[in-house]
Structure 1
Amino acid sequence: MASESGRNVLRLLRCAILVVAVLLTGSMYYTPSLRCLTQQLEPVHQEPLHVLVLVWLWPFNTTFKLDLCKSQFNVEGCLLTADRTLYGKADAVLIHHRDIVWDLSNLPKSPRPPHQKWIWMNSESPSNTDRIPGLDGLFNVSLSYRKDADISLPYGWVVPLEKELKHFVPPEKNKIVCWIVSNYKLEHRRVYYFRELQKYIRIHVYGDYFERHLSVEEYKEIIASCEFYLSFENSVHKDYITEKLFNALALGAVPIVFGPSRQNYERLVPSDAFIHVEDFPSVRALAKYLYLLHENEALYLRYFRWRRHFEAKTSSFPVEHACHTCKYIRQNKEYQVLRDLYQWYWDGSKGKDMPLFFY
């Protein structure tokens, strides 16, 4: 059977012969047959161009499967590799910021091919990202949770359900407020807020700092058993909203968020899906409101109305990020250089200072 492209070629040849006949004879006999010139040709199915992405530094020195782009994320034509001998053929080189050494000695030494783009990948907040010298002008594409990154992939999002629910019933609760934390530092503003909040309401605290490391199942069970979960970010920066929020949403707890502005959160999740500490004039006022919701089930369940229409998802770092690199490279051929990486990422993402009310 002839291919679609082959059939299109034959059809064009027939039309061309008819056109020549009309021009030579001046006859209108062939006019009805010339309709083929205006008929839409059969579309030719084209496989997506393959893009080769070289993972130069394993993020946090942890390997991941390189063949999941199509099966897990519906990204076709994406070839991921960690084979550095393919450097000269790679369309993009993916480099994780946290694994770059201070003197840049673990970056590629060979000249960069003209077609190749270097991808700067970072999912840490600016407060937890070292200003390594020499990065300005070195990379072509940014990959981050930031909305204004070239490749923007947040920590999570909400998606519509395939079938809407008439009712959503959250898991059974036996605790009011919980917090799972491993990076517990007294100088963090979230720790100050937590210590003041626990003066007015009991908070069940878990994590490496307080007792022991939790398994994945223990982590899920604890969050699901709590009415409210402290989704407190370790620093306040634009768009820095991590899995702490999306895990709570997915597991059926109401997140209490400490991070960027409410407006920033509302770009990613419904406004009635979470409680923002900035909504209250004081820590005491927040605690009073939590007790009100604890005692009034109807008011509490209002925070789950969105679950009838949506569900929360988290991104799969870093494999999903690598796959999205292929999509970007395929669709963006123009040349660019990140000449102001420091100014954009560090200085351009500062959130306003979170007010703390200790009364």
Structure 2
Amino acid sequence: MSRELPLLRWLWGRPSVKAVVTAGLLVTVLWNLKCFIRSSNSSDEALKHTKVLTVLVWEWPSRQVPDLSGDVCREQYGIAGCRLSTERRLLSQADVVVFLHTTLPRGRDRLPRDRPHGQGWVWVSLESPTNTRALAGWNQTFNWVMTYRRDSDIFMPYGKLVPNRSATVSIPTKTNLVSWVISNYHRTQKRAEVYKNLSRYLHVNIYGKAAKKPLCKDCLLPTTSKSKFYLAFENSIHQDYITEKLWRNSLLAGTVPVVLGPPRANYEQFIPADSFIHVDDFSSLADLATFLKTMNSSRYQQFFAWQKRYSVKLYADWKERICTICATYPRLPQGRLYPDLQSWFNS
């Protein structure tokens, strides 16, 4: 041992050895520091993703506010980390505040003037631009939009097809050719013009307030399911504006939709090309009427091939719609305001 000490002192005294050892110690310290920082960041990310988001709905869309107690989003829709509330006293604590256009006050000054740092405001509308008024006064107000349009920050369609491998084709018994349920009928609408001309060539069974034949909530699907075809005519023509007229009144009911809305290519982004008939597929409404009246059983059944792979999911519950905000939240752009909401929605 006594011989080794002088040797160690000699080695340590050499500049090259001292530099190597010092460098090694420095590398070790820096590596440990990097691991510590990475671990801290991972912990911060974990906390960020496990944080329960508080979503305040400024005014619920229906008169009766549902029970929002408990973990509604997780228990009913499988969306964790989401707390819904309509209590405005929680404004300072809310991560997101939701404003439905149909419940917005007339003036911006009736909404909170200041919002907590990092709080996001969502503008919600399921109506088309044709039926949406007074947007000009809401510039520089909302961070995100939630609409039926696929380019929305939070996409909320009226329905969709979901994969279902065990599905089988089920076509209800048919007793008539064509039906249509219509509540708001205005002669200036394109659908009114198309119906008027189409009815010259075939009979359409009409129901709803406009026809003075209202249907109860549980009567609608059993009624439309008896028709071979259903007129899924939208009240206005806009990109992606495909409503419950297609999803519920037609596909879910088990009848073939005859659609009037955006171009066929737009519909095909939502449903298979062979699952519907588009008014624009024909050079005249007389040709469309002939096609419907002369269709044989084999050709008709082909329209239901989609049922072998999919089933219809409706989005009709506002609780589920609001819970979807939490599922989308990690991907939402931060720190942005829509400078001109009207221009965006009308584009």
User: Which amino acid counterpart does residue 223 of structure 1 have in structure 2?
Assistant: T
Q: Deviations over 1:72-125 (max 9, x none)?
A: 32110100000100000100100001111222354224x111110110011100
Partner in structure 2 of residue 301 of structure 1: 301
Residues 65 and 319 in structure 1, CA contact (< 8 A), matched pair in contact too: no
The counterpart of 2:55, out of the listed 53, 56, 64, is 53
Q: Deviations over 1:222-281 (max 9, x none)?
A: 111110000000000010000110111111000000000101001111111110000000
TM alignment of 1:1-359, pairs within 5 A: 48-66=50-68, 67-109=71-113, 111-165=114-168, 168-247=169-248, 248-293=250-295, 296-332=296-332, 334-346=334-346, 348=347
- 2:257 aligned counterpart, secondary structure: strand
- 1:216 aligned counterpart, secondary structure: coil
Displacement of 1:303: 0.3
Q: Deviations over 1:171-195 (max 9, x none)?
A: 0010100000101111111011011
Residues 102 and 133 in structure 1, CA contact (< 8 A), matched pair in contact too: no
Deviates more, 1:268-277 or 1:332-341: 332-341
Displacement of 1:57: 1.5
Q: Taking structure 1 as reference, are residues 316 and 65 closer, same or farther at Cα in structure 2, changes over 3 Å only?
A: farther
Residues 154 and 328 in structure 2, CA contact (< 8 A), matched pair in contact too: yes
Displacement of 1:132: 3.3
**Distance between the aligned counterparts of 1:79 and 1:265, measured in 2?**
34
Residues 143 and 152 in structure 1, CA contact (< 8 A), matched pair in contact too: yes
Residues 119 and 143 in structure 1, CA contact (< 8 A), matched pair in contact too: yes
Q: Provide the aligned C-alpha RMSD in A.
A: 2.3
Displacement of 1:209: 1.7
**Distance between the aligned counterparts of 1:107 and 1:237, measured in 2?**
30
- 1:325 aligned counterpart, secondary structure: helix
Structure whose alpha-carbon radius of gyration is higher: 2
Partner in structure 2 of residue 31 of structure 1: none
Hey, which bits of structure 1, 4+ residues long, moved more than 6 A? 43-47
**Distance between the aligned counterparts of 1:286 and 1:331, measured in 2?**
44
Displacement of 1:164: 4.1
Partner in structure 1 of residue 4 of structure 2: none
**Distance between the aligned counterparts of 2:148 and 2:67, measured in 1?**
22
Which structure dedicates a bigger proportion of its chain to helix?
Answer: 2
Residues 200 and 287 in structure 1, CA contact (< 8 A), matched pair in contact too: yes
Deviates more, 1:217-226 or 1:43-52: 43-52
Residues 49 and 77 in structure 1, CA contact (< 8 A), matched pair in contact too: yes
**Distance between the aligned counterparts of 2:307 and 2:317, measured in 1?**
25
Displacement of 1:211: 1.9
**Distance between the aligned counterparts of 1:331 and 1:148, measured in 2?**
13
**Distance between the aligned counterparts of 1:124 and 1:276, measured in 2?**
22
Percentage of matched positions with identical amino acids: 35
Residues 139 and 337 in structure 1, CA contact (< 8 A), matched pair in contact too: yes
Displacement of 1:317: 4.1
Displacement of 1:60: 4.6
**Distance between the aligned counterparts of 1:341 and 1:162, measured in 2?**
41
**Distance between the aligned counterparts of 2:72 and 2:254, measured in 1?**
29
- 2:294 aligned counterpart, secondary structure: helix
Normalising by structure 2, we get a TM-score of: 0.83
Unaligned runs of 5+ in 2: 1-20, 22-34, 36-41
User: Which amino acid counterpart does residue 265 of structure 1 have in structure 2?
Assistant: Y
- 1:287 aligned counterpart, secondary structure: helix
- Corresponding pairs, count: 305
User: Which amino acid counterpart does residue 91 of structure 1 have in structure 2?
Assistant: D
**Distance between the aligned counterparts of 2:278 and 2:66, measured in 1?**
35
